[in-house]
Amino acid sequence: MRASAAREREGDVPMNEAPAIMVLDRNARNLELVEDLLRRAGYRTAGVSDLEDAQRLIVEETGIAMALLDIGGFDSSVWQVCAALHDKGIPFLVVSPGRNEAAERQGYARGARGFLIKPLTVKQLLGLVRSLLGTSA
């Protein structure tokens, strides 16, 4: 994965050994927390904090198994990222800072496999990721 498009962490499992999950979150601390959680659960992560890097990663990286998109703080351009993931056949979950029926409809209309509302529990998040990927990691 390109360093300009995604932060790779030391200790990541090689891509051929673990599914890679793209994590989009504008909040750097939340991005770090989610990536750490997923890595501890046995997944490889590619974290991005802006929409341009997300689009670039979707186009350039062929090993993304799924994506987790926190839409908080982004404008309607975030739906283009969802559409690009859907067009490439990459399953994704949308995370929202609060209940928003319009955003939920937008996410599902662009192919989201689930719509989660913060705060999330570790059990809930990992259960959905495992289900989406068909893994027990």
Residue 32 sits in a domain of what CATH number? 3.40.50.2300
Query: What tens digit of pLDDT does each residue of 7-59 get?
Result: 444 444 444 578 999 999 999 999 999 999 999 999 999 999 999 999 999 99
11 found inside a domain: no
Residue 128, by phi and psi: left (phi above 0), alpha (psi -120 to 50) or beta?
A: alpha
9 found inside a domain: no
1 found inside a domain: no
109 found inside a domain: yes
- Give the residue numbers spanning the domain of 96: 20-130
76 found inside a domain: yes
Q: How many domains does the chain have?
A: 1
Q: What are the strands of the beta sheet with 44-48, ordered from one edge?
A: 44-48, 20-24, 64-70, 92-96, 114-117
Query: What tens digit of pLDDT does each residue of 91-127 get?
Result: 999 999 999 999 999 999 999 999 999 998 999 999 9
77 found inside a domain: yes
97 found inside a domain: yes
